[in-house]
């Protein structure tokens, strides 16, 4: 089993003063526990998360997860391909919206 960099949430940074319980659950359950389970690598978890966010049309969360995916070793080309692939299963509008988020992020951070 390989050791991966520890995944850390930003819930407290985002909402700690406004919604402390949601911040706590984000950081302590979602990231400290689920994201750091050894059965899947952070890279695999990132690909799955990008696919699920795309399929669900949750583009407001997609930008931060695309950036995290890159930190976890997923290339921009792989992320574009994953969004393209999901588009054909989840629906054109969702895929186009997700690709718009990716294009904006990737062209602003070349």
Using a 10 angstrom Cβ sphere, with 0-12 exposed, 13-18 middle and 19 or more buried, the burial of residue 16 is: middle
What is the mean pLDDT of the segment spanning 7-11?
Answer: 78
Domain boundaries along the sequence of the chain: 1-39, 41-110
At 53 the pLDDT is 98
The token pair at 110 is 């070349």
Name the pLDDT band for 3 (thresholds 50, 70, 90).
Answer: low
Q: Which pTM was predicted?
A: 0.88
Q: For residue 76, give the nearest of 33, 84, 7 by alpha carbon.
A: 84
How far is residue 91's CA from residue 89's CA, in Å, rounded to a whole number? 6
Name the pLDDT band for 74 (thresholds 50, 70, 90).
Answer: very high
How many residues does this entry show for the chain?
A: 110
- Do 69 and 101 contact (CB within 8 A), yes or no? no
Q: Is the pLDDT of residue 2 over 60?
A: no
Name the pLDDT band for 15 (thresholds 50, 70, 90).
Answer: confident
Q: Is the pLDDT of residue 55 over 70?
A: yes
Mean pLDDT of the chain: 92
The fold for domain 41-110 equals AhpD-like (1.20.1290)
Name the pLDDT band for 11 (thresholds 50, 70, 90).
Answer: confident
- Do 52 and 62 contact (CB within 8 A), yes or no? no
């Amino acid at each position: 089993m390989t050791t991966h960099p520890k995944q850390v949430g930003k819930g407290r940074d985002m909402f700690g003063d406004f919604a402390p319980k949601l911040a706590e659950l984000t950081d302590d359950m979602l990231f400290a526990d689920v994201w750091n389970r050894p059965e899947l690598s952070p890279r695999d978890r990132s690909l799955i998360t990008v696919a699920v966010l795309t399929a669900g049309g949750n583009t407001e969360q997609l930008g931060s997860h695309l950036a995290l995916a890159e930190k976890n070793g997923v290339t921009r080309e792989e992320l574009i391909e994953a969004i393209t692939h999901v588009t054909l299963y989840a629906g054109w509008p969702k895929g186009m919206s997700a690709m718009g988020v990716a294009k904006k992020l990737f062209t602003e951070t070349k």
